[in-house]
Each structure stands twice: as C-alpha cells, then as structure tokens.
Structure 1
C-alpha cells in the first residue's frame, strides 16, 4: 500500500489528461459521434481515477496500471485534437484511419477494466465473498502470474483472516512451483503481509504464511530482504508464545533461511531464538527448570545426591555408580566410563530415571525454562498430541542444526544449555526425523569443536555428563553399524572429537576399524577419514591411536581399500596408512601386511601422488618403513 502523497503524484496527470480529452471531445467539428463515444468512456475512466485518488492503493500494480493508463489517455487526447476545427487545409492534411476510434474505444475499455481491478484488489475486505476470485485485468494478458501474485498479496493486506489464510496457501503453491514466482512474491512486497499473518492469523493462516516464508528462502538476496523485513523478531515471538504447530513450521522456516544464508545465524541468535529452540527441544526430554539443569555449574552427581537424600539412600550407591560417573579431572580430554568395554546400558537408564524422578519431584517449583516459556504456555504444550510434539522436536533440532553450522558462538551457546543432553536422549529414544536431525545437529557442533580448542574444553570437558552421554550414543550407532541415515553423521562426529579422547579410551577405535570392511563405500570412506583424525600428527596421542588401529586389524582393511577401493577412497586409505607407517614404523603387523609394498605401488600411481597430503607424507613414510621393516624382516628369520 502507499501513502496519499504517492497516490496524488501518480494520478494527477492521468486525471488532467482525462479532463482535457472530455473537454476537447465537446469541441470536435469532425467525427462528432465517435468523439462523444470517447468522451463517455473517458468520463467513466476519470471517475474511477478520482475514486482511486481517495483510496489506499496497492502500490506495485498501481504504478504499472497508471503508466499504461496515461499512455492510453495521451493517445485519446491526440486523436480528439485532430477532430477540432482548424480550417480546410488542416482537414485535408489530417488523416484519421478508419479503425482509429474503434481501437481507441477498446484501449479505454481496457484501462477502465485495469483501474476497476486495482480498486477492487486494493480495497476488497474479503468479509462477504472471501472465496470470490477477482479475475485478471486486461493489462495482465502478457503476465498473468504477476497479477495473480498481486491479487494474493493484496488479499493478505486487506482480506479477512480466512481469505488471508487462503491467499497464503496460494502463495505457497506459487513459491513451490517456480523460483521466479518466489522472487516475484518478494519483489512485490509480499513478505510484510506474510509476516503480519504469522503474528495475527489463525492457526491455518499462520502455518501457511510460515511455510511460504520458508519456501521463499531460495537464494541469499531473498533471505537478506526477509531479514530486513523483520522475520527474526516475528519468528522469535512465535517461538515464545505461538501454537506448537505454528512454532514447528517457524522452526522449519528458520532452518531454511539459515541453510540458504548462513550470515543470518547471528541475527536469529540476537533475537533469543537459540534459547527458545532449546526450550522446545528440552520439553519432555529433560528437566524443565533451569535450577536443575545439568550445566557446568551443576554436575549429574548433585542431581543424583538430591534424589538420594529424598528417597532410598541405597538407590544410587549400588555398583559404585558415583565413582564410575564422576570424573573430577580438569584436563581437556574426555574420560569415558567403562574403558575398553561396551557401554553399560543399564547404568545409563538408571541415570535417566534418576534425572527424571528428580525433575518430577521438583516440578512444582518450576516457573519455566530460563523464563522463556510462560506457565500457561507450558500447560498448553502438555496437551498437544504426540505427533505434534515429535514434529516440534524434529524441527527445533533441524533449526539448531543449520544455525550451529560453522558458527562457534552459537555452538557455544547451544552447548552451554541443556541441548547436548537433549540430543543424546533424542538420539537414543526417538526415531525418524527427530533422531536424524539430532544427529546432524551434533555433527555440526562437533565439526566446529574440531577446530576450536575453546569449544572442546567447554562443551566436551571430562566432567560433563552430557558430553559423555553424547559420545555413548554416537558410539552406539557406530557399533550397530546399520547402514542408515544416522551412521555417517555419527562417524563424522566421533572423528571430529578425536582430540578429546585419552589414550586409555580405546573403545572408539575398534568399531570404526570394523567399518573399513563395510560394503557401502561412503561408510568405509568416512570411517577412514575419522580414523585419520585420530592417527594424524596433529593429534597429540597419534602414536597410541595408530597402535589401537593396528591392534583392531586395520592394516589389512586399509590395504584392500588402497588396492581395490574407489579412487577417492584409495587416496584417503593411503593417507591413513602413511600416518600409521610414520608413527609406528616398527610394527610387525605392518610388516606382515606388506605395507611397504603397498606404499611402493602407490608411489607409482599418478592419481594418488597428485594429492597434496600424499605428496607431503608418502616419501617420509616409505623411508621410515624401509628402515624399520628391513631390520624387522631379518629378525623374523
């Protein structure tokens, strides 16, 4: 819509032209009947233009229609001016084609139709005939989609809540169909009305509008315009106070915006979106009240002790659980329970039950998650159906996944909340999108932690129960080795966390080595890459990890991959073999696997030696292996 000043400036000249055409048509000496017909049409058009001058017009189509209408009135003015008295000479030399008046009548009819449509589309309330289609104006013949978009946006501006919901649904269909249509919706000022519907509409309208905004996030320019239009503030308000179905759709839309335009991550964070999303993730997943949140200031030990004091004092002391769970070390690498053994699921379930019981006994004192949810909002969420709750968690996890991607500040914010523990629980107990999106969010956090010592120390410190729970669940997926959507992100996550494990933490290497023999090429390659992060020189414990890889039978699997794997996998496997040869050159297992022969063969393969990493470490690996293995071979005999 546009202001009065814009309307007057736009309509002044067409109205003046229409008045001049009417006046000169009365002065016509020739073709008087035809001129009177033009006068009638022009008077009708002038009346509509004056009506438009008093209305709040939708600016985008108004400009297009007024330019066209002015051109038509210019032509009408030129035609009637030829019909005025001017003497015999002027009449002889003035030629008016036979079809000129007929064509001008048609053009004026088209302008009348265009301005009538503009008035209807700008002022229709939609209360009485919300389902009525306004039809397209004559000017829309060449661009029908543009005018259809204008009509839907105008309905979003002035229609009833029901008709606005339908208009949003129409824009959803258009945005899905074609990237260009999505660009047009943004260019024609459709974002503002959609955001107002997200704030003010009924459930269906809010969902449609949020879905449309997510679909419009096709490129960085589009997302940037939506950010400038205030999408972050509106979405934050919905995440705080909206209905859960709308909150879920908004979370999905946030994930789309962040995926397309990562620069918007910080803007969402500044609007408190991270904390609100974590609140939805934590709802019915872990304890609700911040006083009992498992953070760096309160370990799981205090929660367990609190439960012990209120209930059976023998419940927690069995099997020395305290001693097994609590690691008081201040060092920056994780010390996981049950070193070298399978995770003890029973103990883990006991932990969860203790936490949940403590939460329930204290819930009467709860006032909301860090103040982000009102008590009435929490109550409303409790009555949602399980499908909606699961969808909300899935979309909250998806939003956090893309907000965390490559952003250290947001990852730090997420890990300082209860989100890590939530992801671990959801990875263990949920299925489908909830589980997958949680795994992907963890993967992105771990990727950032790989390059950030500060994040590794704060998020994955030895005393963190949440960090140990995360590793347990990642390892559980890798140990199952079922080729599904979860396996690869969990492999990647363990590799990224390689610098957080102590030398005594040997249970990670074995399951990864087993995946080297996986039939699925993507799985074996990701396992190689993960193991390389354990074995590379940059890892302080590379010697211990290389020995663990050899002990788990990794050498023979790597030989097979170097000889028979796909080209990319061949190079990755060769790099890992080189690191192992560099760090444990005197290994008898390497001699028996004839690794030196493999390296010799690889050094003659052009496709392999072109890789910069291979070029840097293969010659030295060969030299060290030749030195130790030649001596080793003599000892064997």
Structure 2
C-alpha cells in the first residue's frame, strides 16, 4: 500500500488516536530507526545489485538522520504536536520493512536463482526507492512545521496527496499548539474556517487532536484575538453531541466558565455563543455548565448597565439608584460572579464601561441565548437561574428592549416556565404570583401578548402563560381575557397557541379548571373557538381538546348550545379518534356531558348517553 493511500485509510478511522497510541514519540520512532540501521547493514553485505543497494542505503541513511533529529526535537520540546509525526513514522516503518526484505534478497546466490532475483528485484528497487523518497519528503515537511516560526505551510507532504485537508489541519493544529501568538491566532482562524466548511473537516480536527490546543489558547488569554479565534473555532467544531462531549472530556467546561467570567467583551461574546451551542447539543454538557455555575457570570453580564427595580415582599417598592448597588445585591443573592480578589475582573469591568453600545448589546444577546439554551428541559439549570435575579432581569429587558435581545429573553422565560410546568417545587419557588420577580415576568408576558404584533414574540409569551396555568387562582380575569381574545387572532399559529394555553387552564389536572372554564365562556371564547376548529388540521386538535374541557366543566352553558358544540364534537369524533385514539374517551365523555344539558337533544343521543354509562359501569364491575 502506498503512503498516500495509507494516509487516507488512517484519516478515516473513528478511533480516538490517543486510545491506540500510548507510546511516547521516542518509543514510536525507535522501531523505524532500528529498521534503518538494519537496511544499511544488509545493503553493505549485498552481492547482487550492489549499486541499487548502495543507493537505497543512502536514502535510508538520510531518513535515519531525520528520524534521529525528530527524537532530539521531541526530547527538547515537551509541547510537541506529534500527530503527523506518529502517522508518518508508521508509514516509514512499513516502507523500511519493504526495503529490508528487498536488500536481504541481494545476498550471495548462485546460478539460475541469482538471475531470477536480479530480474525480480530491479523493478522492486524502483518501487521501494520511490516510497523512501516519499518518506523523506514527508519527514522534510514535518520537520519544517516544527522548526519554522509557525507560519503558513502551502506545501503538501506526499502522505496527504490524496487528502490535502489533512496537511492543513496538521500544520494549523501544530501552529496553535507551538507557534507564536500571531501565528496561533491565524492558525485558529484557519481551523475555524475549515470546520465551517463541512462535517468531515470537523471530524478530522477532532481526531487529529485539535480540541486541547484550542482550549489551551482560549484559557491562556494571550490576546483578545487569540481567545476569540479559539472560541470561534470550538463553536464551529462543536456541531453535534459527540464533538461537544470531546470538549467536555478535555475539561473544557471549567476553562470556558473561567474565561467567561473574566475576559474582555469581545471574548465574552464568543464564549457565551460557545456555551449556548454546547448546551443546545448535549445534555451532559448542559448539566456540567450548571454544576460549575455558569449562570452567575451570564446573569451578571446580562444585567450590567440595567437599572432594575427590586420589589420587596411588602407593597413598598425599593429603587436601586446605581448599578454598583444592584451588583452587590445580586452577588449577595448568588446572582453574580463578583470576586473581589480578582484584579482582572475589576480591570475588565472598567473596560466594559468603555465598550460601544453595539458591542454591549451583542454581549447581552449572546448571554440571553446561552441562558435560553441552558434552561431548556433542565430542572437544575432553571432552578439555578431563578435563584439569581435573572427572572427580574429578563422581565426588564423584555420590557425595554426589542429585536434579538428581547426575543432571546422571551425564549429563556419560555423554557424556564416549561420546566416549571412539570416541576411543582420550581413552580412554587419561582412563580408564585405574590413574588416580585414572578409578577414582573407575568406583566411582561401579558404586555407582549397584547401589544406586540409579531407572532414570534406573541407565541413564546402565550406559551409561557399556559405553562404557568396551575399557579393562577380561580377567576383570574387579568390572564384569561387576553388569552381568550387570541382565539380569534388572524394568525392561526397564535390562535392555536392560545387554545393550547387555555386548555392547560381548563384541563382536569388544574385544581381551578371549573372556574377557568366558566371564565373562558364568559369572555366569549366559544365563538372564536368554533371558528378555529374550522381553520384546518393544525389548530383542530388543541381546539377540540379545549372544547371537550369546556363541555365537561361548563356543559350547561348556553354559549355551547348556541354554538352547536355538540354537533361539532359529533362531527369530528370519528375522524379525530381514528388518528388520535388517546382522545376517544375524552370526546365521548364531552359528547355525553353536553347531551345531558341540551334540552333539544334527540332521543338517540340520550340513548347513547345511557349506553355509555351502562358500559362504563359494567367495565368497572368486571375490573
């Protein structure tokens, strides 16, 4: 197999290189050096094709000197990037083994046998000589990237002739690990660009050991450009859970959290983006971030330059006149990463004060997105976030900002409320209606749902209110009115979301479902609901579920009778039950409940009602 084809096979391997290659570089190079010595000695003893053997020995000697130079370099350079060297050394070992077999055939032979060996080895010498020349070129290349100043290498070693990207990856990782600061920045940017191109490049960078040098570059803080380039490259590489896990296993989470808490603004933007990406792709990384308390620097950065009004448990409102005082209170409550012993943090705070508003806005956008992705489906992260002043901060930003920042904050609130919906402890701790932060959040959710016209903002606001349905007392008209009004929204998606939210108020699992159901009807919600049922397949299901709940809890309502709710349920029961069998019993109960209260219900409906209950009783007896 040629060196080029060998490289192609090796580069496609999915086995992490460090799992297989446990030997040191010196140990790895000892075998080809030993083989080279044997080839030279055997060539000196050759009886046939002596000139060819001599020429071959000269090539091997050059190769041997290069290998020994690499050993000396490895001993004197603890940070040596050895991936290309190991790969090339393996290829050289195979080529030297072929050379040794060849020259050993040239020992003393007689008669016809000698002529046969002369005929067969002449062609073999040319093949082996070409392989050795390729190995020499490979060694020249690898020595050049180690001994140069870390600049770009446009040449390609023969081992990567079928896969030029591999050479670029090797030289870039080598520069990130061993080069000067400027070269490390350029190399990190090169890796970021390669990773952005396609998944194969991402996989290659990971397999060739690029994660650890990039994390080291990020942590060292040699320059803003270096840290930004490293964070960008890591973000581009981390495109799925498997690659994110490599970063986690390299102890990258602690480095990322440390840099986020104490860096300049441009670096923090890149790192916050990296946090958001990793948290979105891997649940384990998401939990590791919360274990190392990444929420503290994120909330701290998000709330900087934000005048917040903190409401105490009594009706008196306390206004915090300055950002410094607010920071102290947030730090006391566990919401800030304020280390008074960190001179770097103080220095960076002063620098942040001088940043342009545009850059400060980008930082807040990135931090809000990170909180959004961290809270998604995570009880521990959502609890950690609500234990800070994050809810109040998010509410204030939703109130005062617009665009991407407002949207990201709304999405963070939506994910936290979604977790709280299924976790009673979090719901009681963070979203009791008498809590100042919870009240501030609810006020903004209602305001957005009523005043905003963009469905992208209305939908998360409405969904958040629905997730909190169990926290509201009976006859909560302040909430119910706006939600009911959206049943008639011209945007079908918004209307459907309103039906889903109202269904959570009216469902039997809600202790106040009867009162909420009556309130929905009192706010004239039945007519737009019936219209929504005719809007298509997407809104039909949540609308039908809501109608069933209303029938069960307020079946004697004239509004349901006037809207022909019973006819609507009967008309859709068969088709819906066929596609959604889990709703069959709910629809049947709703039909029978309405039948009891509708004075003009035909006899067959009453007979159906009696048969239904008779069957249920028989089922209960036999059970």
TM-score interval (norm. to shorter): 0.7 to 0.9
TM-score for both structures, normalised by structure 1: 0.84
Partner of 1:153: 173
Partner of 1:383: 354
What displacement does 1:520 show?
2.6
What displacement does 1:66 show?
1.3
Aligned with 2:376 (options 401, 405, 419): 405
1:569 aligned onto 2:569: no
The DSSP-based 3-state class of the residue aligned with 1:55 is: helix
Which structure has more relative contact order (CA 8 Å, sep 6+)? It is 1
Partner of 2:321: 357
Aligned pairs for 1:94-173 within 5 A: 94=117, 95-126=119-150, 130=151, 132-133=152-153, 135-173=155-193
Aligned with 1:553 (options 505, 516, 524): 524
Aligned pairs for 1:72-471 within 5 A: 72-94=95-117, 95-126=119-150, 130=151, 132-133=152-153, 135-200=155-220, 201-286=222-307, 294=310, 298-299=312-313, 301=315, 304=318, 355-357=319-321, 369=336, 371-372=338-339, 374-471=345-442
Unpaired runs of at least 5, structure 2: 1-16, 75-79, 603-623
Structure 1 distance, partners of 2:130, 2:253, is: 49
Alignment check: 8 A CA contact 1:207 1:246 kept: yes
Structure 1 distance, partners of 2:27, 2:483, is: 72
The DSSP-based 3-state class of the residue aligned with 2:556 is: coil
What displacement does 1:51 show?
0.7
> Residue deviations 1:310-346, cap 9 Å, x none?
xxxxxxxxxxxxxxxxxxxxxxxxxxxxxxxxxxxxx
Structure 2 distance, partners of 1:47, 1:72, is: 16
What displacement does 1:261 show?
0.4
Structure 1 distance, partners of 2:155, 2:331, is: 53
Q: How has the CA–CA distance of structure 1 residues 437 and 493 changed in structure 2, closer, same or farther, with 3 Å as cutoff?
A: same
Structure 2 distance, partners of 1:438, 1:366, is: 18
Structure 2 distance, partners of 1:598, 1:428, is: 41
Alignment check: 8 A CA contact 1:588 1:632 kept: no
> Residue deviations 1:74-109, cap 9 Å, x none?
222222223332233531332335433333222111
Unpaired runs of at least 5, structure 1: 288-292, 305-354
Q: How has the CA–CA distance of structure 1 residues 381 and 524 changed in structure 2, closer, same or farther, with 3 Å as cutoff?
A: same
Structure 1 distance, partners of 2:55, 2:273, is: 58
> Residue deviations 1:502-529, cap 9 Å, x none?
2242122222222222333322211110
Structure 1 distance, partners of 2:202, 2:147, is: 24
1:44 aligned onto 2:62: yes
The DSSP-based 3-state class of the residue aligned with 1:486 is: helix
> Residue deviations 1:50-88, cap 9 Å, x none?
111222253322222112111111222222223332233
Structure 1 distance, partners of 2:71, 2:33, is: 9
Structure 2 distance, partners of 1:210, 1:435, is: 25
Partner of 2:599: 630
What displacement does 1:364 show?
10
Structure 1 distance, partners of 2:591, 2:427, is: 34
Count of residues in Structure 1 that have an aligned counterpart in Structure 2: 570
What displacement does 1:244 show?
1.2
Alignment check: 8 A CA contact 1:586 1:632 kept: no
Q: How has the CA–CA distance of structure 1 residues 301 and 236 changed in structure 2, closer, same or farther, with 3 Å as cutoff?
A: farther
Alignment check: 8 A CA contact 1:602 1:609 kept: no
Please, what is the CA RMSD of the aligned residues? 2.6
> Residue deviations 1:439-464, cap 9 Å, x none?
11000000011112211211112332
> Residue deviations 1:519-566, cap 9 Å, x none?
33322211110110011111111122112211222211121222x222
Alignment check: 8 A CA contact 1:394 1:434 kept: yes
Partner of 1:473: 444
TM-score for both structures, normalised by structure 2: 0.86
> Residue deviations 1:472-501, cap 9 Å, x none?
111111102513421211111010011112
Q: How has the CA–CA distance of structure 1 residues 568 and 521 changed in structure 2, closer, same or farther, with 3 Å as cutoff?
A: same
